[in-house]
């Protein structure tokens, strides 16, 4: 019985299946954790969603910013971008089933036995774990409700960028969504910077990666995240794991087996087609 954690799939279905075969994943005995951004940029978002949904209780996932954007397109709020290659999914006969399943997935996963936390972008240093859980639940409740299009219409925007327990309404939901699905850098006080996408060695002062700022999540918890392909899985402190290694950009799909901390990778089938690399891609 193993726990496999895989970085952003981004519609790379063939690589996902090859990686799962490589580690001999069995949905009957193993559990698969996915860091979000299941869809967009790769060629087979439809196949990825169908497969992941078919796994039932064998999968634990979180939503990423591209998953939320897909839901906004589905709701008629945002425009479908050709580069996202979502048309086959949106036009599929089971699109309604798949996307209504997707919007009921969580933004945060916590396993108390393993002391393991997963969010697409990470955990803002302004939150302790109880606050992160409560905040994620706020957005999950709205996404699961009939009023979810109103939230999706208001989620775009970079403000507010500073947490306060007094935040309410759509401003509160927007901050939570940005923290869990879009965050990379923070100012020294923990405020979010939503503009810089550089690698940490070239980011302007005083910005720091969120994981380099002290936060109140207890040290016994490990944090797994995706979203930041240009990290190439490197440069995080002990106990924090970056798993997006830019498969859709011609990089690799990366898997971490939790029990022995062994890493496995599957090269992208589209190294030439992608025309970019994880060093320059913005996911």
pLDDT per residue as tens digits for the range 116-125: 999 999 999 9
Q: Which of 176, 158, 177 is nearest to 66 (CA)?
A: 177
Which segments of the chain have a pLDDT < 70?
A: 271-283
- CA–CA dist 246, 283 (Å, integer): 8
CATH number (2.160.10.10, 3.40.718.10, 1.10.645.10, 3.60.21.10) of 3-274 reads: 3.60.21.10
| Tokens at 58, concatenated | 């064998």
pLDDT at 270: 78
Between the alpha carbon of residue 103 and those of residues 2, 59, 107, 151, 167, the distances in Å are 27, 15, 10, 12, 24
Predicted local confidence at residue 273, as pLDDT: 54
The pTM score is 0.95
First to last CA, the chain: 32
Pairing state of beta strands 262-267 and 252-257? antiparallel
| CB within 8 Å of 175: residues ≥ 6 apart | 160, 161, 162, 163, 167, 192
Extents of the domains making up the chain: 3-274
């Amino acid at each position: 019985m193993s726990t496999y954690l895989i970085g952003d799939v981004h519609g790379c279905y063939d690589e996902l299946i090859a990686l799962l075969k490589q580690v001999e994943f069995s949905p009957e005995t193993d559990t698969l954790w996915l860091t979000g951004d299941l869809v967009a940029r790769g060629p087979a978002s439809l196949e990825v969603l169908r497969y992941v949904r078919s796994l039932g209780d064998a999968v634990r996932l979180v939503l990423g910013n591209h998953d939320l954007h897909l839901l906004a397109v589905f709701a008629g709020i945002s425009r479908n971008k050709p580069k996202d290659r979502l048309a086959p999914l949106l036009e599929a006969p089971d699109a309604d089933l798949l996307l209504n399943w997707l919007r009921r997935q969580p933004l945060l996963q916590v396993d108390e036995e393993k002391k393991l936390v997963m969010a697409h972008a990470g955990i803002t240093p302004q939150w302790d774990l109880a606050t992160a859980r409560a905040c994620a639940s706020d957005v999950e409740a709205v996404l699961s409700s009939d009023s979810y299009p109103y939230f999706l219409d208001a989620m775009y925007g970079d403000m507010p960028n500073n947490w306060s327990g007094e935040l309410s309404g759509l401003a509160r939901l927007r901050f939570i969504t940005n923290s869990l699905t879009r965050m990379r850098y923070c100012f020294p006080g923990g405020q979010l910077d939503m503009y810089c996408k550089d690698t940490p060695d070239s980011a302007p002062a005083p910005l720091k990666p969120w994981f380099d700022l002290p936060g109140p999540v207890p040290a016994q918890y490990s944090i797994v995240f995706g979203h930041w392909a240009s990290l190439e899985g490197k440069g995080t402190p002990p106990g924090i794991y970056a798993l997006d290694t830019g498969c859709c950009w011609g990089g690799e799909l990366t898997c971490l087996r939790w029990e022995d901390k062994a890493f496995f990778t599957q090269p992208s089938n589209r190294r030439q087609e992608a025309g970019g690399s994880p060093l320059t891609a913005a996911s």
